[in-house]
Structure 1
Amino acid sequence: MSVKDPAAQISRLRRLKETLFGSTQAPFELPVVRSCAFDTTRLAHAAGVSRLAELGRREVRELDPSILADTDLFFTEVRNALEHRGIIWLIGPINREDLKRLAGPLFHLFVNVGAEHSKEQTVFALRVSKLVHELLPDPRFREALQGMNATRTPHGLVHQIEASGVTVYKRSLITRILKDPRVWVYLVVFVYSSLRALPVIFVPQFHGSVLVLWSIDVLTALPYTWGILAMITASRPLERYAGAIVALVTFIAPYVYFWIHGRGYPGSVVVIVALMILASIATEVWRSVQNSRLVKRYSASRNS
């Protein structure tokens, strides 16, 4: 037991880190990514993401070309991707004509995402959601999906699959909440934000209502929690900006009441607000640098 526990804890910590911040370097463990150079604009568009940082361990998978020739095995791979939230397959380096022969009527779903580093072979991408939409009319495919675990499958795809008559397994809401590592992060931040302004009741100059102050704390706790995590972990810039603004406003709100009914803000508030603004700016700089590095790494030809 003592041997397993540390490994389990490390696994949970890694899962939490990847859930919150992604696993941007994981795709480079795949042979297809190591051996090919990509057109990063086409790659992001093919995957349906705005930034390459959204592609991680779960999202990107490598597809063996030979699997395309075995329908049952291919359907099993599609099911596996759906159950583990895979969103894009990469296949290559491969000759266009060879892929056309292997993929048959599905060839139009493959997108050339390779850089112009080879006239003979390149790399193609296949988005799982488009593939599912194409295959659902096939009764054999629907049969292959029967009873699949849809806990990690995007909600839009789950509705589409269920609408076709496929019965899927989904964990109960309570189980999904307890198994989601983000919930525990939200809970910790929420508890802190619900109590963060109460220490000011011990300040002699405060003459307001403790109940009102605590009510402001509780009412702003949820948006403050969302704002803090969105500011740091959201993939879209607008969501991060919105998170920073919400976090700042909801953080200051209890102290505004304190200021109205006392003699001013605690000095720490100004420091914390300044740190939050700096953290928001630092996050944007880090995201920009991260994306630039990913673009360079995906674009670099490993065959040259």
Structure 2
Amino acid sequence: MVRRWLGRMQRTLLVSPETLTADPRIISRALRTDELLEVAGVRRIAELGPRNTRFVAPGVLRHPASRLSILRDALEDGIRMLFAEADPAWDDAPLTAALPVIVHRLDDPAASERGALYGANVLELLRHTLASDPDATARALRGMSTRHVPQKTMRMLPAELPVQRLHPLRRLAGDPRGPVYLAVGIYSALRALPVAFLPQFHGSLLVLWLIDILTAIPYTWGVLAMLFAPRRSIRALATLTTIATFTAPYVYFWLNGRDYPPFVVAVIAVLTVCSISIEVVKYVQERLLRRRYRSALVAATVRMTPVRITQAPEASQTTTVQGSAIG
């Protein structure tokens, strides 16, 4: 039982974005990362992996009945995005006509040799089906389990929709991520408690705790925007936000105490290094993932480039192809 629960926990918590980028259907195409992120509704490619994405046939999205069927399966399994791979001879006009603002082409048409790759956001697909055919959507989703459906999606579902609406505590109890979220919450709430045992600290534990809790959300936004926001002004604002929210608890801690013992300084230094290291690892991971997509783009572009022969080849001569010598 414990082993099965640990397996569920691993599948639930580990997105494994490297596995997705290594998929031949992904890496062999010239994907546009900005389009991919926009369609998926995420800021980082690292948020996408086999756990929350799925490949379907283009015809599944084109026909209303099969579209509703795959939508229900995607919602029950917590899928965020659907990929549809089409062969080179497939006509995409019916698909784009059926879902003109839902399905988007993700690869570069000018550098594609294997046919098109399309993407559809599951949340947007749900919004479309609820607006276009609410009765058919209600019949298709009748009795659907909502254990893995995000709260944002749950708020979109009409109150009269006959789905299994679980109590939040029951959802948390059955979710392998529950213990992790609980541990993080307890850690965040009690992180300021050890300060109570330091006689050198003369500030308010409540104020220190509130600073720690209230800066968590803007700190998370600041880190993401500082690294990946498209506009320089936003990146600059995010950098200031990240620095301010990260240092705020420590500034209050040092302003309201003095003569701390050496082990306190060491602990704070270790926490600071760990926090910075985690963000550096995330940044490096995201850069490597985007480089894989760009490498596919460059490779596909080179394959599509016409060969230019500078002179007639002979047995003892060298032929130059796009600036590279081939003996």
Category of TM-score, reference length = shorter chain: 0.7 to 0.9
Larger radius of gyration: 2
Counterparts in 2 of 1:14 and 1:110: CA distance versus 1, 3 Å: closer
Q: 1:184 aligns with which of 179, 182, 204?
A: 182
8 Å contact 1:248–1:273 — kept in the other structure?
A: no
Deviation at 1:298, TM superposition (A): 2.6
| Unpaired stretches in structure 2, ≥5 consecutive residues | 227-237, 304-327
Deviation at 1:78, TM superposition (A): 0.4
Q: Quote the residue 2:99 is aligned against.
A: 106
8 Å contact 1:58–1:86 — kept in the other structure?
A: yes
Q: Give the 5 Å matches for 1:1-304.
A: 4-9=1-6, 11-12=8-9, 15-16=12-13, 18=14, 22-28=15-21, 30=23, 32-68=25-61, 71-95=64-88, 98-101=91-94, 105-115=98-108, 116-118=110-112, 121-136=115-130, 137-138=132-133, 139-162=135-158, 165-178=160-173, 179=175, 180-190=178-188, 192-201=190-199, 216-217=204-205, 220-221=208-209, 224=212, 236-237=224-225, 245-246=244-245, 248-251=247-250, 253=252, 256-259=255-258, 264-301=259-296
8 Å contact 1:50–1:236 — kept in the other structure?
A: yes
Q: Following the alignment from structure 2 to structure 1, what is the Cα–Cα distance between the partners of residues 52 and 154?
A: 17
The alignment's TM-score, normalised by the length of structure 2, stands at 0.69
Q: Following the alignment from structure 1 to structure 2, what is the Cα–Cα distance between the partners of residues 12 and 222?
A: 31
SS at match of 1:149: coil
Q: Following the alignment from structure 1 to structure 2, what is the Cα–Cα distance between the partners of residues 293 and 266?
A: 41
The code of the aligned residue for 1:135 comes to T
Deviation at 1:70, TM superposition (A): 5.4
The alignment's TM-score, normalised by the length of structure 1, stands at 0.74
Counterparts in 2 of 1:242 and 1:36: CA distance versus 1, 3 Å: same
The code of the aligned residue for 2:292 comes to R
Counterparts in 2 of 1:69 and 1:288: CA distance versus 1, 3 Å: closer
CA deviations over 1:70-107 (Å, ceiling 9, x no partner): 54333121012122332211111434852333565225
Deviation at 1:123, TM superposition (A): 0.9
Q: Following the alignment from structure 1 to structure 2, what is the Cα–Cα distance between the partners of residues 23 and 95?
A: 29
Deviation at 1:269, TM superposition (A): 3.3
Q: Following the alignment from structure 1 to structure 2, what is the Cα–Cα distance between the partners of residues 31 and 93?
A: 14
CA deviations over 1:105-125 (Å, ceiling 9, x no partner): 225532111134226712111
CA deviations over 1:23-50 (Å, ceiling 9, x no partner): 3224246553254331111111121222
SS at match of 1:89: strand
The code of the aligned residue for 1:266 comes to P
| Unpaired stretches in structure 1, ≥5 consecutive residues | none
Number of positions where the alignment pairs a residue of Structure 1 with one of Structure 2: 282
SS at match of 1:49: coil
Q: Following the alignment from structure 1 to structure 2, what is the Cα–Cα distance between the partners of residues 234 and 109?
A: 29
Identical aligned pairs, as a percentage?
Answer: 20
SS at match of 2:111: coil
Deviation at 1:144, TM superposition (A): 0.5
The code of the aligned residue for 1:110 comes to V
CA deviations over 1:119-173 (Å, ceiling 9, x no partner): 671211111222222211312122101232234323333222216x423323212
SS at match of 1:152: coil
8 Å contact 1:114–1:122 — kept in the other structure?
A: yes
Deviates more, 1:51-60 or 1:124-133: 51-60
| Structure with the larger helix share | 1
Q: Following the alignment from structure 1 to structure 2, what is the Cα–Cα distance between the partners of residues 174 and 222?
A: 25
Q: Following the alignment from structure 2 to structure 1, what is the Cα–Cα distance between the partners of residues 214 and 46?
A: 21
Over aligned residues, Cα RMSD in angstroms? 3.7
Counterparts in 2 of 1:283 and 1:9: CA distance versus 1, 3 Å: closer
SS at match of 1:150: coil
